[in-house]
Chains A and B, each alone.
Chain A
Amino acid sequence: MLTHEVRSQMLTHEKAEEIFLRLSRHCNADGMEMLIAGGHSALTRFANNTIHQNVEEENYVVSVRTVIGRKTARATTNKLDEASLRRAVESAEAMTEVQVEDPDLLPMAPASMTDGPPTERYFENTAALTPEDRASAVESIVGIARKNNLTAAGIFSSSRSVEAIMNSRGLSTFHAQTSSEVSITMLGGDSSGWQKANSPDARNLDPMALAETAARKARDSASPREVPPGKYTVILEPAAVLDLVGYMFFDFGGLAILDQRSFLTNRVGTKLFGENITVDDNVYHPLQSGAPFDGEGVHRRPIRLVENGVVRNLVYARATAEKMKKSEHASKVGDIGPTGHGFPLPNEIGEAPMNIVFDAGPEASRRTLEQMIASTERGILVTRCWYIREVDPYEKILTGMTRDGTFWIGEGKLRHGLRNFRFNQSLIHMLGNVTEMGTPVRASGEESFDMVVPPMKVQGFNFTEVTKF
């Protein structure tokens, strides 16, 4: 891979502070906050063994929030000339002035709230990836498809980005990061297989190994058979776990409880899941990604969300924490305080944990995917889920489909491919019926954000219909 220094071409902390000073000169509000995000991203897309889309983009966005008394509003622009920056400040001020007073609005976060260790997630080799590098990898992936009489579709993307927050109380924080992702679908006549991986460091990706696994799944699931819907023991690969469990984490914000839109309303402190379910939010986990601060620049604290099946803690933006302390829920929701999980203000959602890490227990208790299959008399292996949507918000019933590699397990072995199922499954019941887990990995799907999750074996998973392929 070609490597040359590209970090110098990116927006730096110093340059971001210069822009903040330029904005400040135009500001007449009581307080101002600036958020800058952007960088360079590229994505090479292939299908039918051909690169059919190939894109690159450079963009930085400046977002200004002003505060006047107990009122706030935001204006955003990607035009960085002086007149446009001035217009953004004026636009934020004008919108702020006509707002209704919000008694819950706090002053800007003080500088001390951003104190916390940085996360080092910028890798020069990933930043320097070129279209030629990505095309070389795709060429090899297509070679594996041809060797197996399959066709390949997928992506190889890479990016370098920055995120900075500064405010008029002296808070100034900056994060630079790279990202890379490979996703591969291998298609046969009546079957398909899929694999995906994502990392800040492209050296952690192995496109050839992913292609070989996707090809094997497509080959082994050819001539799929139909089994009737019903309750089955399933083994969910990490991407399938991620896409399902991702539907519950927006309910772990304090504001979701105060709004009574969370399935955890009246359930914090209760044992909702199995004894073996323990979940943290931890931006510092070595397999995690992202900035160590939230939308107000507040340092993200690691939080234990679920411990041995009991929902222990929620996450809080600053204002939500203050409201929660005064609410009827205060004595029932564990520790209350700003955790650094708020979204940029003003917003209706409040906060959410975005760096989920499942704890699968001690090494000795974990099982590899192969061991899980070997210990299954009758069951179904699910590679990937698709089009998951919430059917019931309090029982957390989700519907969706299986896709790209669904297999029948008989007497401890993968026997043959299956036609895909529709499921209607309560997430609460699912996490109460996990009998085995593997080592958590950084998983990537399509329905949720990336997480560190294990493969899971689940009893009584509820399939309600079968489709035609």
Chain B
Amino acid sequence: METPERLETISMKDIASWILNTAQSRGAGYCDLRVVDERARTIATKNGKVGHASNAESLGVGIRVIADGAWGFAATQDLSRTAVEATAARAVEVARASARVKQHELQLAPEKAYVDEWTTPYKIDPFTTSIADNIELLLKVDSELRAVEGVTLAEALFSFRRYEQWFYSSIGSDIHQTKFITGAGYAAYAFAGTEIHKRSYPNSFGGQYQNKGYELVEELKLVENARRIAEEAVALHKADQCPEGTFDIILDSSQLGLQIHESVGHPIELDRVLGMEANFAGTSFLTTDKLRHLRYGSDLVTVVADATPEHGPGLGTFKYDDEGVPAQCTPIITNGLFTGYLSSRDTAPAIGEDRSSGTMRAEGWNRIPLIRMTNISIRPGAKPLTLDELIASTDHGIFFQTNRSWSIDDKRYNFQFGTEIGWEIKAGKLGRMLKNPSYSGITTEFWNSMDAICSRDQWTLWGTPNCGKGQPMQTMGTGHGASPARFKGVKVGSAYKGTGA
């Protein structure tokens, strides 16, 4: 293990040329590399104290090559010339070992070379904010949550990340991108008797995450909502159990975002469809014969995979993916018809596409890019429709808010979701609060039952920061834009059926 030089003194172009020359001289037919310099700040409070406080940084290079028609990858933290050349040579050796077990030569969809720079639009670099101020705001939220009698645990979190990447490839690309990712949120827990209830704001999974600066924290109105959230956590102890049966249901936009993630985003990953994830993440019911034939949802369902900055500051927003393909907007479901997959340069040819849809993303310098969701978003309704108006037009149903549990089978057919809180809808009005709400179904049946979706003014681009895939496992952030929507005749309440609870 050698000591790397300081990043500032190293020319990225030099590193790239050492690596590309070594790989090519060892026989690689293709090579790309990503130098990543990453910085993170995490601060969490719990019950009036700082629970977690850390700064972290990580620097290294990941080198991907094709030799003898197969992939190889090697990564090192050591950016000295000796180390990166040895790592490039190692990547070629690894590829040669891969080539011992193959059916076909790898074929990459053609792509142009790009020389470009891009940075997440942001107003306030979160690393310029004072840690003391960060802690003060979190403790203020904490204090508001614990001011409500019955709250037994209060947790609040800020997560700031800066991810700078230099991408070079043997076709001549030279792309420098910097992303800022900000996350913030909190939860109140109430334990009493034999029940633990939880309410989160603005979403579960730590809150809301976007490719933005500290301005996200300022937009979320964290303190203003804390008292209500805490009161709801306590009130759930007196709420009625969610009934079992078949109901019309309305999902709030964050829950609909997760529904999209699990029952649209994952099944459209072409590597899953082609069997490459069969051992871990699973496969997909969306076999290639279904493209442009399957009625995925009702006419109101239009979903896109949109990584372009124009879509908004989602966790799946970038200008180029991690194999140098420009960000794109791909129609996934068009007025209910299944119209597109997420693909890569080495999978696009399998479905006759002449270009990758630009969705290859890696967790860091030491992981290979995989097909990942970008921003998988449902288009809002064309006609003005608020959540209040949607509820008012519902005779009898249940309104589900904020995810609590989520599970779906390995082909993405059967799902079950639970939310933190539910509300009965009767004669167009929100009625009694319901605890332990859950609903379940089969993906295509569910999406075909959607009969209303709120308009653009109700649409939020949610961030899911914890999507796991791949071996070794990689955690990736994905974006999901959604408005509240209604689904007819959905099975409700089976999570507690027969459990004796």
Identify the A interface with B (CB < 8 A): 11, 41-61, 72-84, 88, 91-92, 94-96, 98-100, 102, 104, 130-132, 134-136, 138-139, 142, 151, 153-155, 157, 183-185, 187, 192, 194, 230-231, 259-261, 265, 346-348, 386-395, 397, 399-401, 403-404, 420, 422, 424-426, 429, 446, 462, 464-469
Contacts and interface: CB of A to CB of B under 8 A. Distances in A.
B410 A138 contact: no
Contact of A51 (B101, B196, B418, B442): B101
Contact of A47 (B1, B50, B279, B404): B279
A185 B102 CA distance: 17
Contacts of B427: none
Given A78-B59, A187-B278, A400-B407, 19 more contacts: A43-B471, A51-B70, A51-B98, A52-B71, A57-B75, A58-B78, A88-B57, A95-B54, A96-B53, A98-B132, A100-B135, A387-B409, A391-B436, A391-B438, A392-B501, A401-B409, A422-B414, A429-B500, A467-B411
Contacts of A58: 1, 75-78, 87
Contact of B4 (A72, A75, A80, A132): A80
Q: In this complex, which of B278, B282, B501 has the most chain A Cβ atoms within 10 angstroms of its Cβ?
A: B278
Given A91-B55, A397-B499, A79 B4 contact: yes
Interface string B406-418: 1111110110101
B445 to A, nearest CB: 10
A184 B499 contact: no
A50 B127 CA distance: 45
A138 B93 CA distance: 16
A91 B95 CA distance: 40
B279 A57 contact: no
B54 A391 contact: no
A450 B501 CA distance: 29
Contacts of A185: 278-279
B387 to A, nearest CB: 26
Interface stretch (B24-32, B269-277, B289-297, B479-487): B269-277
B3 A395 contact: no
B221 interface: no
B119 interface: no
B153 interface: yes
17 contacts: A44-B98, A46-B101, A48-B103, A53-B471, A55-B74, A74-B55, A80-B77, A102-B49, A135-B101, A153-B279, A183-B279, A386-B282, A391-B496, A397-B499, A401-B408, A462-B497, A468-B411
A394 B275 contact: no
Contacts of A76: 54-57
A399 B495 contact: yes
Contacts of B49: 100, 102, 104
B388 interface: no
Interface string B251-277: 000000000000000000000001111
A467 B443 CA distance: 11
Contacts of B153: 259-261
B249 interface: no
Interface in B79-101: 87, 90-91, 93-101
B471 A45 contact: yes
Contact of A54 (B46, B98, B155, B410): B98
Contacts of B73: 53-56
B60 A78 contact: yes
A395 B276 contact: no
A57 B498 CA distance: 47
Q: In this complex, which of A104, A130, A138, A389 has the most chain B Cβ atoms within 10 angstroms of its Cβ?
A: A389
B494 A465 contact: yes
Nearest to B99: A51
Contact of B499 (A82, A192, A395): A395
Contacts of B246: none
Contacts of B51: 346-348
Contact of B436 (A54, A98, A392): A392
Interface string B430-464: 00000010101010000000000000000000000
A47 B58 contact: no
A99 B75 contact: no
Contacts of B341: none
B128 interface: no
Contacts of A259: 46-47, 152-153, 189
B135 A74 contact: no
B410 A386 contact: yes
Given A151-B275, A391-B495, A394-B195, A469 B53 contact: no
Contacts of A98: 130-132, 135
Given A46-B101, A467-B413, A389 B405 contact: yes
Given A139-B100, A348-B44, A424-B497, A48 B405 contact: no
A132 B97 contact: yes
B118 interface: no
B352 interface: no
Contacts of B367: 55
B277 A84 contact: no
Contacts of A230: 498
Nearest to A133: B97
Contacts of A46: 101
A469 B279 contact: no
B279 A55 contact: no
Contacts of A184: 279
B60 A59 contact: yes
Contact of A52 (B4, B276, B409): B276
A386 B47 contact: no
Contacts of A393: 196, 198
Given A47-B279, A392-B501, A469 B411 contact: yes
Given A47-B277, A348-B155, A403-B409, A59 B100 contact: no
Given A131-B93, A348-B155, A468-B442, A78 B58 contact: yes
